[in-house]
Amino acid sequence: MGKSKRRDYCLNDMKCYWFIFCKDDLLLQHNEYGYAVPCSDTPPVKLAEWHTLINLPIMDGCQCKAVRVDAPIINLDGFEMVGLRASFDVLPKEYYDMAGKAAELLYWDASSKFCGVCGGPMKFHTDISKRCTNCGKEVWPQLATAIIVRVERGDEILMVRARNFRGAYYGLVAGFVETGETLEQCVEREVWEETHIKVKNIRYFGSQPWPYPCGLMVAFVADYAGGELRRDASELSDARWVNRNNMPDIPGRASIARQLIDDWLES
The reported pLDDT for the residue numbered 29 is: 96
**What are the φ and ψ backbone dihedral angles of 237, each rounded to 5 degrees?**
-90, -20
Residue at 225: amino acid letter: A
The reported pLDDT for the residue numbered 218 is: 98
Query: What confidence tens digit (pLDDT) does each residue in 67-76 have?
Result: 999 999 999 9
144-266 fold: Nucleoside Triphosphate Pyrophosphohydrolase (3.90.79)
Query: What confidence tens digit (pLDDT) does each residue in 215-256 have?
Result: 999 999 999 999 999 999 999 999 999 999 999 999 999 999
Distance from the Cα of residue 57 to its chain's centroid: 17
The reported pLDDT for the residue numbered 14 is: 67
pTM as predicted: 0.89
* pLDDT reading at 179 higher than 70: yes
The reported pLDDT for the residue numbered 7 is: 44
Query: What confidence tens digit (pLDDT) does each residue in 38-95 have?
Result: 999 999 999 999 999 999 999 999 999 999 999 999 999 999 999 999 999 999 999 9
Task: Give the Cα separation of 14 and 229 in Å (integer).
Answer: 58
Query: What confidence tens digit (pLDDT) does each residue in 6-40 have?
Result: 444 333 356 899 999 999 999 999 988 999 999 99
Asked if 61 and 95 count as a contact pair (C-beta separation under 8 A), the reply is: no
Q: Structural domain boundaries of the chain?
A: 16-109, 112-141, 144-266
Task: Give the Cα separation of 49 and 56 in Å (integer).
Answer: 19
Task: Give the Cα separation of 37 and 173 in Å (integer).
Answer: 34
The reported pLDDT for the residue numbered 105 is: 98
Q: How confident is the model at residue 166 (pLDDT cuts 50, 70, 90)?
A: confident
Asked if 187 and 220 count as a contact pair (C-beta separation under 8 A), the reply is: yes
